[in-house]
Amino acid sequence: MIIGLAGKSCSGKNAVAEYLAGKGFETVDMDLMAHDVLNSLGARLSAEFGSSILDSDDAVDRRALGSIVFPDPEKLKKLEDILYPELHKKLESHIQSLPEGKTVVVNAAALEKGEFWKSCDRVLWVQAPFAVRLFRALKRDRRSLKNILQRFASQKQLKSQYFFSRVDTSIIRNGSTLRVMRRRVDKWIERLPSER
């Protein structure tokens, strides 16, 4: 079984993924996978967005790239058109390399935009109120309020409703404590089919 884990920035997807990994699920962090893919595409991306996106080791500086693409929907779309096909290949290859019958959780903020949900049997959407997400982002990311709000704005189309008509979807509300979130995830696990 393949489970897509999605939600908006700072909704707590990583905390849920970490908890599921501790429960024996195989988790795939698409953000980390994207780091590798971005670096493999460094030359192509610098040709498209300028050499300022590369650091002194010629690796892609994600913050520099983000400051260029997040305020500009056209540039963001260009990046996604380059990145997503390569990510699909890497994800498919990784899933095929796993032992048969393993339940895989694909942690991907872009589950919808990148259409990674098409590889999933079900989706778990992590949801938190805007104010909670903003507080978490300010505490975690050490970015300016403007930068955080631009990132949030780039995800405003992401909604759990997108998945409901396409794939079996559940929601975990994560606006409270870790303890509450874990209790809700445990209840969700209990309702999963036995093929897990």
Q: What is the pLDDT of residues 26-52, one digit of tens each?
A: 999 998 999 899 999 999 999 999 999
Q: What is the pLDDT of residues 134-175, one digit of tens each?
A: 888 888 777 777 777 777 676 666 555 556 567 788 999 998
Q: Domain ranges for the chain, please list them.
A: 2-190
| Local confidence band at 118 (pLDDT 50, 70, 90 cut-offs) | confident
Q: Which burial class, exposed, middle or buried, applies to 175 when counting CB atoms under 10 A from its CB (0-12, 13-18, 19+)? A: middle
Q: What is the pLDDT of residue 47?
A: 95
More confident residue, 190 or 163: 190
The answer, yes or no, to whether residue 176 has pLDDT greater than 80, is yes
CATH class of 2-190: alpha beta
The residue among 119, 133, 121, 124 whose CA lies nearest residue 84 is 119
Q: How many helices (H) and strands (E) in the chain?
A: 9, 5
62: Cβ contacts below 8 Å, ≥ 6 apart:
35, 38
